Amino acid sequence: MKVAVVGATGLVGGKMLEVLEEKNFPITEMIPVASEKSLGKKIRWKDTDITVVGIKEAIAKKPEVALFSAGGNTSLTWAPQFVKAGIRVIDNSSAWRMDDTVPLIVPEINGDLLTKQDYLIANPNCSTIQLVMVLNPLNRRYGLDRVVVSTYQSVSGAGAKGIKQLTNERQGIGGEIAFPYPIDLNAIPQIDIFLENDYTKEEMKMINESRKILQIPHLKLTATCVRVPVLGGHSESVNITFKEDFDIGDVKQILSQTPGVIVVDNPAKQSYPMPLLVQNKDETYVGRIRRDESNARSLNCWIVSDNLRKGAATNAVQIALLMKERGIIG
């Protein structure tokens, strides 16, 4: 089938192309789409150089599905135009995630919600995906009461500009900046803009998206999101209070048996997930699993995932693969 990647020259768009090739997605024609400044550029796809086209030309080519990773404004403007032309859109921006008419999908959790009537599907925020991958199986067993999460998010979450700021600072050179302060040798407790409640937009994304995906509209969840000088991979320190008591051994077994989750937890061998260990991996890793001795029915854990893979590109491609598997496309 014909597939378009909108934002193909960006960090996540490039990763989408990579994952589509890795997963052997059945593509007869790849249509890389980007802004006007990138028109005519060549990108590499399956040992072939293909030409980047504009968004109107992409619609005219009538792909069956389009993976969007070009920012919220582009998605708000153009996703409806693709849908109007009969093209299914999987959108990686925050533009449509909280729209009640748009499914917000993590295939391992709520892929069963997808139907042939869905032409616009939202891909969740990177930090949300790895969190709910762990919360979902534990919620099914014990019931979630309250979740407190602190994130340690890599600079790649801010795109190529974020990576460039960190590498420039380490080399002692100036350049365009992605963050309001230096990031090297620093930790910035702000990701995205501040809202009226003094939470950042990233923090509220995590709260609202998790509630929607888990179908717990009043879940007590609070988040603090921090940018750290790591090139790739987001980490999360999570404290979970359940409605029922739990056994640590059972928790580890449940998570070990959850598709897409890998438990790395052996304190005696200093074994736990880290950003360096999860790069280019599609799974969500969890470790430091232990009872919170200060509060009944509470658990601490440490969750790490590659934010460009499962946190963005891989999840989007998995949605497309699931749609094909279910006969919605292809």
Q: Round to whole Å and give the CA distance between 93 and 284.
A: 21
H or E, element range at 104: none
Which sign, positive or negative, has the C-alpha torsion 47, 48, 51, 53?
Answer: negative
Asked if 267 contacts 193 with a C-beta cutoff of 8 angstroms, the reply is no
- Marked catalytic residue, from 218, 225, 234, 301: 234
What sign results for the dihedral spanned by CA atoms 233, 234, 237, 239?
negative
Given CA atoms 55, 59, 63, 67 in this order, what sign does their dihedral have?
A: positive
Alpha carbon 176 to chain centroid, angstroms: 25
* φ/ψ of residue 123, rounded to 5: -95, 125
Query: How far apart, in whole angstroms, are the C-alpha atoms of residue 160 and residue 299?
Result: 35
Tell me if 291 sits within 8 A of 248, measured CB to CB: yes
Helices (H), the chain: 11-22, 55-60, 72-84, 107-110, 126-142, 160-171, 201-214, 248-256, 275-278, 314-325
Residue 266 φ then ψ, to 5°: -145, 85
CA distances from 104 to 12, 101, 118, 175, 233 (A): 18, 10, 11, 36, 22
Rounded to whole angstroms, how far apart are CA atoms 105 and 319?
Answer: 7
126 as an active site residue: the answer is: yes
SS3 234: strand
Rounded Cα distance between 219 and 235, Å, is 22
**Which residues are catalytically annotated?**
126, 234
